[in-house]
Amino acid sequence: APPAAVPPTAVSPATAAAAPAWRPTRRFWLWAAVALAAVGLIVGAFFLGRWAGGDDSPGAAPVTTTLAATGSTIGDSTEPVADVAAALSPSVVQIETRGGLGSGIIFRADGYILTAAHVVGVSQEVTVRLADGTRLDGTVVGADENSDVAVVKVDRTGLPAALLATDVEIRVGQIAIAIGSPWGLDQTVTSGVVSSVGRTITGSDGIPRTMIQTDAPINPGNSGGALADRHARVIGINDAIYSSSGGSDGVGFAIPIDTAVAVADRLIAGEEIRTAFLGV
């Protein structure tokens, strides 16, 4: 037979404990504060991202960067190479010597020009041709064979100095635009990407140098000219190529602008350039 039902135990109102009313504890308020903070961070990050990134709709105006050196405006347009050429070309010059010609970059408005040491060679006097065709006499301030950097001075002020990308991280794959005088064709613009950074190559002189590698076409005469990023900032001085034909095979090298400026400042100051080696 089934067990007899057990009657419920009655609890008299006098002896029953009243159900406690719920009250928030300190732990509850702590977790509530954490949850609110998390929601606030997510919402804030969303709106901050929209504000920083701008409106990406088709009708939105392009983001622009103003170059203090030239007063030009560079936009994230569909023609970044054309924008860079328009802004930077006035700062790129042609350098002529008795042994040939190369390129240079105006890096100070008071007449100082960066170029490659092998462009000037043993010359003490050169001819500098500005972008507008003006020809000026130039004096070689100094040259450093180890870095292949040289400085030329012309007696002219108010020149359009290039914007230099010193202390700017160079990324593999970023746009690279070369401007110079390949084969004597001044103000020639070519483009590609940065193929590698920190590439150590040994030139025909047996000196190893750390370079930026690019596939932007570089030919004889480009040496000393500018390698720039999409914001028209100079990231390097075009210097060398690997080639089986004597022309561009898409493996070019540029002296990093940080190295070039450090050497140039010492040459202008008349200080000795000393290179350290780890002879292992």
Task: Kindly list the catalytic residues.
Answer: 118, 148, 223
Task: Return the structure tokens found at 122.
Answer: 């043993």
Number of neighbours of residue 27 by Cβ within 10 angstroms: 8
Question: What DSSP designation does 76 have?
Answer: S
Backbone dihedral region for residue 264 (phi beyond 0: left; psi -120 to 50: alpha; all else: beta): alpha
Tell me the residue length of the chain.
Answer: 280
What sections of 54-94 are H helices per DSSP? 80-88
Which residue from 90, 86, 88, 65 is spatially nearest to 75, judged by alpha carbons?
65
Task: Return the structure tokens found at 104.
Answer: 């240079």
Task: Return the structure tokens found at 88.
Answer: 């930077």
The upper half-sphere exposure of residue 241, i.e. CA atoms within 13 Å in the direction of its Cβ, equals 20
* Alpha carbon 150 to chain centroid, angstroms: 22
Do 176 and 189 touch, CB atoms closer than 8 A? no
For Cα atoms 140, 143, 149, give the angle at the middle one, nearest 5 degrees.
Answer: 115
Q: Is 176 exposed, middle or buried (0-12, 13-18, 19+ CB in 10 A)?
A: buried
Instruction: For 108-130, give the DSSP string.
Output: ETTTEEEEEHHHHTT-SEEEEE-
